[in-house]
Amino acid sequence: MNEIDDSLAMSRRTIRSYEGYADRYARIRKGPDQREQAALRRVASMAGPGGRILEIGSGPGYGADFLETLGVEVRRTDAAQRFLDLQAARGRPGDRLDVITDPLGGPYDAVVAQYVLFHVPRDAIDGVLAKIARAVRPGGAFLVSMREGEGETSGDYHEVCWRRDDFAARLETAGLTVLWEDSSAGSGEVIWNTFLARRAA
């Protein structure tokens, strides 16, 4: 297989794994914590009242729930159908979307991708970030959280670690200027770097 085929195969294996894990994930994952809420408030402020936000990888939808309390409109999406089924069961419909292969639509006032793009294979990330930049209106915002470190693992869940400065450089190359950054510790001593970026006006 070539690199594109390899990336798609790894991505699809990750999606299949989440299909089987979605119910448990929804039970153990609570709503956004205070740090996550602060980041979501920043992106909602940039989107503006009534702003339209694309959320990539909504999962059980708790982040989208919080965003909607801030007066923005959220297009909920996920590549795993089971997550969408769980959201729909509580009256929160969303769309099936694979960020690697599917068009994103837009333009949006902001795009949010928390704890999801670290599953994108390293050789596919530049194309994904360029696609996201095109989906954001000029002056619009992009919020993303990535796992700190080096290397990538392949298995049921493909995971890629990025050094903070390296990923910030990728954002800049895609035409997204970093305005704000934060780092926090997750479970298992994992460090997550969160970036809020803006597309040039």
| Structural domains for the chain | 3-199 (3.40.50.150)
Q: What is the pLDDT along the chain (201 residues), one digit of tens a residue?
A: 455 567 788 889 999 999 999 999 999 988 999 999 999 999 999 999 999 999 999 999 999 999 999 999 999 999 999 999 999 999 999 999 999 999 999 999 999 999 999 999 999 999 999 999 999 999 999 999 999 999 988 889 999 999 999 999 999 999 999 999 999 987 778 999 999 999 998
pLDDT of residue 67: 98
- What b/e readout covers 4-26, taking b as 16+ CB neighbours within 10 angstroms? eeebbebbeebbebbeeebeeeb
pTM of the model: 0.95
3-state secondary structure of 50: coil
Residues 6+ apart with CB under 8 A from 108: 52, 53, 54, 75, 135, 136, 137, 140
Residue in the structure block whose two tokens are 């089924």: 85
- Compute CA distances 121 → 103, 159, 183, whole Å: 18, 7, 22
Count CA atoms within 13 Å of residue 124 on its CB side.
24
